[in-house]
Amino acid sequence: MLTLRPASLDWALDHALNFGDTTMLPLPFEYEAIQYDWAEVRKVLEKEDILKWTVRPHRTMLSPKAKYGFRIITQLDPLDFLIYAALVKEIGAHIENARVDRSVVFSYRFSPGTEGRLFDPSFGTQTTTGFSRTAIHRPIGILRFSLIQLSHLLSSI
């Protein structure tokens, strides 16, 4: 039987309330109801065997993207989101430790905060942009090396 820690569930609710469950839609009203009776809801979720958890129906819709495109948006049921977020909290450090060094891959880095924050706020687009600006000015920077490799490949076709 696989169960979730109460602290992970608390963190998951904090994450939903402070950061939402998606960046594309407003937070569903159910989270306020869950927060109101959190002690009881958490007791139920703590006892759930995650290996036997049945995912509830989710919301799926189209959203405009750029001028003529669309993207599919999915919003999980609030209880499913809490379970998923708590799982991420529990295994996130293991995933982060297995990832490539921060200086090689630029993406969000797992660094949960007490208020429900999931990612390291000091690592993101600014880090990537700064690295790119520095690398382009090196005599044989990574970006220039990539362009040289690409031109070599194209000339051999």
Asked if residue 147 belongs to a domain, the reply is yes
What is the pLDDT averaged over residues 51-58? 92
Does the pLDDT value for residue 3 go beyond 90?
Answer: yes
Residues 143 and 117 in one domain: no
65 — pLDDT class (breaks 50, 70, 90): confident
Average pLDDT, the chain: 79
Asked if residue 1 belongs to a domain, the reply is no
Residues 52 and 97 in one domain: yes
- Residue 142 pLDDT: 54
Please say whether the beta carbons of 75 and 58 come within 8 A.
yes
Residues 100 and 30 in one domain: yes
50 — pLDDT class (breaks 50, 70, 90): very high
Q: How far is CA 1 from CA 36, 50, 60, 69, in A?
A: 28, 8, 31, 44
Residues 115 and 56 in one domain: yes
CA distance 94 to 35: 29
Residues 144 and 85 in one domain: no
CA angle 141, 146, 152 (to 5 degrees): 125
Q: pLDDT of 89-140, one tens digit each?
A: 888 777 777 766 655 555 666 566 777 766 666 665 566 666 666 665 665 5
How many folded domains does the chain comprise?
Answer: 2
12 — pLDDT class (breaks 50, 70, 90): very high
Domain extent, residue 147, equals: 125-157
